[in-house]
Amino acid sequence: MGYSGFRVIKEALTGHKGWKPAWRDPEPQSAYDYIIIGGGGHGLATAYYLAKEFGKKRIAVLEKGWLGGGNVGRNTTIIRSNYLLDGNEPFYEYSMKLWEGLEQELNYNAMVSQRGILNLIHTDPQRDAFTRRGNAMILNGADAELLSVEQIKKEYPFLNFNDARFPIKGGLAQRRGGTVRHDAVAWGYARAADRLGVDLIQNCEVTGFRIENGVCKGVETSRGYIGANKVASCVAGSSPRVMSHAGIRLPIETTVMQAFVTEGLKPIMPGVITFGAGHFYCSQSDKGGLVFGGDPDGYNSYAQRGNLPTVEDVCESGMALIPALGRARMLRMWGGVMDMSMDGSPIIDKTEIGGLYFNGGWCYGGFKATPASGMCYAHLLATDTPHKYAAAYRFDRFRRGYVIDEKGMGPSPSLH
Q: Name the residues that contact ligand FAD, by CB under 6 A.
A: 37-43, 62-65, 69-72, 74-78, 205-206, 234-236, 238, 242, 257-259, 293, 336, 338, 362, 364-368
Residue 51 or 340: which CB sits closer to ligand FAD?
Answer: 340
User: How far, in Å, CA of 46 to CA of 88, rounded?
Assistant: 19
Q: 360 near 339, Cβ under 8 Å?
A: yes
Nearest-approach distance from CB 223 to ligand FAD, in angstroms = 11
Choice between 63 and 89, CB closer to ligand FAD: 63
- As to burial, measured by CB atoms within 10 angstroms (0-12 exposed, 13-18 middle, 19+ buried), residue 300 is middle
How big is the CA angle at 258 (ends 113 and 268), to the nearest 5 degrees?
40
Shortest Cβ contact with ligand FAD: which residue? Answer: 40
* Smallest separation, CB 154 to ligand FAD (Å): 25
| Cβ proximity of 335 and 304 under 8 Å | yes
Report the residue number, 37 or 347, with the smaller CB distance to ligand FAD: 37
241 CB neighbour count, 10 Å cutoff: 13
Residue placing its CB nearer to ligand FAD in the complex, 41 or 413: 41
Rounded to a whole number of angstroms, the minimum distance from the CB of residue 355 to ligand FAD is 17
Give the list of residues 6+ apart from residue 298 with CB closer than 8 angstroms, or none.
309, 310, 414
Residue 54, class by beta-carbon neighbours within 10 Å (0-12 exposed, 13-18 middle, 19+ buried)?
middle
Closest distance of CB 258 from ligand FAD, Å: 6
CB of residue 416 vs ligand FAD: minimum separation in angstroms?
12
Q: Least separation, in Å, of the C-beta of 369 and ligand FAD? A: 6
Residue 152 vs 201, nearer CB to ligand FAD: 201
* Calpha distance 251→306 (Å, rounded): 24
CA angle 181, 187, 192 (to 5 degrees): 125
Nearer to ligand FAD, 131 or 143 (CB): 143
